[in-house]
Every structure is written in C-alpha cells, then in structure tokens.
C-alpha cells in the first residue's frame, strides 16, 4: 500500500444510520487518516495505524480538530448566489421578483463563470465537497459550472434547468430544445472526471406535459444520471400544479407518470406530500432533499419527519440557496433540528451529521464513492475546529459526550469551524 498523505486528528464518520445501529458511529479521539493519492487508504486509531506511515512521510498533526467526510448538499442553485436573502411574501412572488431576473444574466458565459467560481469556493469554505446543483435554462451556464468544478477536481452533480412555460420569455426553452441540450450536456459532462449530470425540470408548473415526458425519456435512456426537481414546497404552488395537471393523482404523481421517479432522483422540499406519495418515494428509491432554512425563510411549511421515517423515504438535507439563507451545512443542521422539534421530534446530532454525509451519499447511490472515510472512497474530507469562536471554545469546556460536542457544533457552528477542506486528496480551502 502506498501512502502519500498522513493526517492525525480526531476522526468521525459513519458506516450506517446511527439511529438504527449505534455502532455505526466511528469515532477515534486520536485518529489517523492515510491517503493514497486521491483515495482513502486507511482511517482509524493513531496507535493502530502509525506503523503504516512510510519513514520519509511526516504526519501532519491537528490536535483538537476533527476530520470528517466533506458535507453533501443535495439541493442548491448556483445562479442564485447573488440574490440570497431577498425578501418576498412566499415562493411564487420571490421567483417572479428576484429569481427570474437574476437567472437571466447567465446567458453571459463570463458572468456564469465568475459566479460559478465564487459559488464553488464558498461551498468549500463551508466544508461542502459535493452538491446537487441547478444551473439556469442556458446551456452555457452548465458549461461554466462544470468547467469551474473540473478545475477544482470536485465531485459535483449539476444540470440545465428545463422550463418551457409560465416564466419570462427570456428564460424559456422548448420541450425539444431542452431535451436536445440536456442530452448534449450528458454526453459531454456525465462521468467526465468527477462531474455528474442531473436532468433538471425546474418544477411541474414551468414545464409542459411534453417537456416532462421528454425528461422522463432521457431519464430512462441514461439510467445512471441524476434527476432533480421541486415538489410540494408551498401551498399555492401545489394548487397551481394540481390545476395544470388535473388527471394526476397528486403533485408528485405528475413526475411519477412520466418516469421521473427512480434511484438517483432528488425531490426538493416534499412538505405537502400524502401517504401514497411517501410510499412511492420509498418504492422507487427517490430521495427527499429537505431544505429547512429555505422552508422557514419562505414560510413554505414544516417537513414531517415522522411520516417520512415511517414510510422509509430516503432523506437528505440541503441548503437551497438562494431560497435558503446559508451555505453552511452546520447552519442547515441547526434549522433541521428546529423543524424536527416543531413536529414534536428530537433529532440527535449524530443523525444530522450522518444525514449530511453518508446518508446523502446513500440517497444519491454514491456511498461507494463519497460520504465516509471508507477505504477506497474518494478523499473528500474536512478538518473541523470545534473551538473556532470564543463562544464555541467556552461552551466546549462543558461538553460531556461526543453527542453533546456534535450538537454544540451543529447549533453554534458555521464556516468559521471549517479549518480546511480537501477534495480528491488535495487541499482546496484553508482558513
């Protein structure tokens, strides 16, 4: 075994859902992470693994810091970076007033490149190493995004928004052009290096039945691509979708009928689903991207954890920037916890860290690639400083368990806690 990098710190990762098996939490207070180029070669106790470090290689030591897998954000819009924190009374006016005019600018490749570069660096600053990303309706916005991602060698999933009605003309494609452009982008970018493609109909109200049908055909033709869209976010949106597709059993069923529910399909929000919808999510292994900062900010509603869990729906958490108010998955955990509390539920910190790493990788069917420190996985990980601020340092003097330490980090932590980010074994951010 060739070892090219050795890092000593505390280690945290998961091998399963800790809510089901407590032994799935892997914690090494004095740990060692060994890499072979861009892959994980070993992860465990320092004492047990130190003999594997070659003589010529010095071990980098970060006492007090925690190495964990990079966070995975399963739903975010890169073109909305410049309009984060735009106030509006709910989703539909917010789309009209801010989102569509902002997305118009991405017809300019230079603008798209500049924003994509900033966006990716901001994700890395926050410790996010993989995201499922919406571009705009313009193919050049996807080119720009993948070009910037490839330059940083990041494992990213992204796609061209498909939108052929109920939006300003300057953002409209057609059913045929959207399918043609999406297919060309799949052929160019899907599985090129670390880039992965997501078929991206924005949401049912902005697609004709023909466009959704063609998206479903692409999903069948390219079964290892991803699918991403929005569903059941807001009551007005739900009523609109139902009125536009009167023969569908439910809003989710609009997508189901055209073959857009399958493994690697990521459905953002899922607040106003019914029991039959949840059953279909589980049966088809389609996943939820729960976006708490966005749902609270836009007043969309509270996700029902109990019903999702009872139906065994694959779950992940996401920022949904620009509807979401933070790029930080730690801040997203904070609001996930509060949304769960509002539903009468208690969500342990270990569950939130699992959901933001291995849980998301599983929801995306990428658990043998990212999401943990498993041997052979890609070396995407972060160094977390749990004492990054005076308040965190002070609060940490009084923690009595790993769960409490992680809980404090999820409630009080943000980008300031991310001391360093590594992608494919390379340092891509350092505070």
How big is the chain by its Cα radius of gyration, in Å? 21
Q: How far is the CB of 16 from Zn ion (least distance, A)?
A: 29
Residue selected from 10, 99, 207, 372 as contacting ligand GUN according to rule CB under 6 A: 99
Residues that bind Zn ion (CB under 5 A): 268, 320
The pair of structure tokens assigned to 411 is: 């409630």
Q: How far apart are CA 283 and CA 292, in angstroms?
A: 25
CA distance 259 to 288: 17
**Nearest distance from residue 289's CB to Zn ion, in Å?**
8
Residues 332-391 within binding reach of ligand GUN (CB under 6 A): none
**Which residue's CB atom is positioned nearest to Zn ion?**
320
- Give the footprint of ligand GUN on residues 261-320 (CB under 6 A): 294, 320
Task: Check binding of 203 to ligand GUN (CB under 6 A).
Answer: yes
According to CB under 6 A, which one of 73, 233, 277, 367 is a site residue for ligand GUN?
A: 233
CB of 200 vs Zn ion, minimal distance in Å = 10
**Residue pointed to by tokens 């009374």:** 89
Shortest CB 99 distance to ligand GUN, Å: 5
The set of long-range contacts for 99-102, using a CB threshold of 8 Å and a minimum separation of 24, is 99/322, 100/167, 100/168, 100/171, 102/322
Q: 9, 91, 144, 254: which one contacts ligand GUN (CB under 6 A)?
A: 91
Q: Helix, strand, or coil here: 129?
A: strand
Q: Would you count residue 155 as binding ligand GUN (CB under 6 A)? A: no
91 binds, among Zn ion, ligand GUN, none (CB under 5 to 8 A by kind): ligand GUN
Binding of residue 202 to ligand GUN (CB under 6 A): yes
Give the closest residue to 87 by CA, choosing from 331, 298, 319.
Answer: 298
> Which residue in the block uniquely carries the two structure tokens 């292994």?
285
65 contributes a contact to ligand GUN by CB under 6 A: no
Q: Which helix (H) or strand (E) holds 117?
A: helix 109-125
430 vs 419: CA distance, rounded Å: 6
Residues that bind ligand GUN (CB under 6 A): 77, 91, 95, 99, 202-203, 230, 233, 294, 320, 323
């Amino acid at each position: 075994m060739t070892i090219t990098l050795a890092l000593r710190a505390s280690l945290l990762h998961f091998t399963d859902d800790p809510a089901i098996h407590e032994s799935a939490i892997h914690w090494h207070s004095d740990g060692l992470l060994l890499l072979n180029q861009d892959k994980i070669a070993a992860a465990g106790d320092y004492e047990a693994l130190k003999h594997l470090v070659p003589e010529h290689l010095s071990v980098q030591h970060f006492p007090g810091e925690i190495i964990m897998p990079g966070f995975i954000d399963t739903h975010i819009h890169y073109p909305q970076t410049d309009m984060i924190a735009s106030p509006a009374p709910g989703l539909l006016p917010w789309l009209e007033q801010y989102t569509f005019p902002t997305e118009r600018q991405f017809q300019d490749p230079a603008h798209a490149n500049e924003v994509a570069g900033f966006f990716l660096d901001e994700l890395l600053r926050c410790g996010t190493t993989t995201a499922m990303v919406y571009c705009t309706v313009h193919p050049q916005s996807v080119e720009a995004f993948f070009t910037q991602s490839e330059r940083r060698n990041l494992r990213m999933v992204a796609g061209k928004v498909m939108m052929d009605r109920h939006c300003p003309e300057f953002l409209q494609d057609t059913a045929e052009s959207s399918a043609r452009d999406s297919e060309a982008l799949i052929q160019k970018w899907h599985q090129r290096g670390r880039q992965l493609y997501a078929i991206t109909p924005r949401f049912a109200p902005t697609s004709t039945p023909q466009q959704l049908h063609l998206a479903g055909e692409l999903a069948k033709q390219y079964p290892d691509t991803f699918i991403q869209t929005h569903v059941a976010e807001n009551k007005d949106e739900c009523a609109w979708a139902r009125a536009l597709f009167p023969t569908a059993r439910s809003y989710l069923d609009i997508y189901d009928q055209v073959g857009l529910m399958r493994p690697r399909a990521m459905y953002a929000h899922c607040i106003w689903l019914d029991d039959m919808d949840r059953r279909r999510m589980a049966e088809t292994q389609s996943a939820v991207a729960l976006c708490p900062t966005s749902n609270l900010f836009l007043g969309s509603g509270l996700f029902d954890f109990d019903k999702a869990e009872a139906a065994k729906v694959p779950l992940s958490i996401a920022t949904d920037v620009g509807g979401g108010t933070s790029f930080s998955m730690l801040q997203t955990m904070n609001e996930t916890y509060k949304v769960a509390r509002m539903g009468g539920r208690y969500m342990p910190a270990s569950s939130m860290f699992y959901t933001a790493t291995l849980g998301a990788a599983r929801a995306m069917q990428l658990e043998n690639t990212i999401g943990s420190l498993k041997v052979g996985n890609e070396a995407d990980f972060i160094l977390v400083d749990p004492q990054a601020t005076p308040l965190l340092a002070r609060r940490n003097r009084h923690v009595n368990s790993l769960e409490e330490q992680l809980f404090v980090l999820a409630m009080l932590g943000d980008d300031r806690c991310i001391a360093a980010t590594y992608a494919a074994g390379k340092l891509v951010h350092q505070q």
